[in-house]
Amino acid sequence: MQRIGFGPRLAAAVIDTVIATVATWIVWAFFLMLGMPYLASVFFALTPLAYSSFEIFKAATPGKMIMTIIIRQADGSPAPQDMLIRRWVAKYSELLLYLLGAISTVSVVSYLGFIAGLVVIVGCFFVRKEERLTFHDMFAGTAVYNEG
């Protein structure tokens, strides 16, 4: 099996972003139409987190599935769920902090989410190195491979 580089991962991320964004805006608009702006802000963060949880339960988001790539242990063997959870928490720390900020209404937590998001974005460019690992892959001991 061969580790996947920047291009296919970016394509999967674009597919996931489109799907998750549409779902998020639909849910957000629903709660706003019901006159529940607080729940709208909570679900604005919760919806993409729920969508991204495919990475925990299937080792791939729908975008990764379309691109036929999958998350595995760094050695290529199937990743256990605790490893997938560690990777997910690191990768989606930005959204987790935004959700915590929305629930707690402590705005400084949301700013920490912005910083976490920058770290994740910078870490994604490390996939261009020979090892083809992002920061969240390094943290969790995972890598992304062709499914076949």
Per-residue pLDDT of the chain (148 residues; tens, 9 = 90+): 899 999 999 999 999 999 999 999 999 999 999 999 989 988 887 899 999 999 999 999 999 999 999 999 999 999 999 999 999 999 999 888 888 887 887 778 878 989 999 999 999 999 899 999 999 999 999 999 998 7
Q: Give residue 98's pLDDT.
A: 82
Q: Give residue 105's pLDDT.
A: 77
Q: Are 112 and 97 in contact (CB under 8 A)?
A: yes
Q: Give residue 29's pLDDT.
A: 95
Residue 66 CA to residue 34 CA, distance in Å, equals: 35
Residue 93 CA to residue 114 CA, distance in Å, equals: 9
Sign of the four-CA dihedral 131, 133, 138, 144 = negative
C-alpha closest to that of 65 among 80, 76, 54: 54
Burial tier of 85 (Cβ tally within 10 Å: 0-12, 13-18, 19+): middle
Domain residue spans in the chain?
6-146
C-alpha closest to that of 124 among 92, 81, 76, 84: 92
Partners of 133 in beta bridges: none
pTM for this prediction: 0.87
Q: Give residue 134's pLDDT.
A: 95
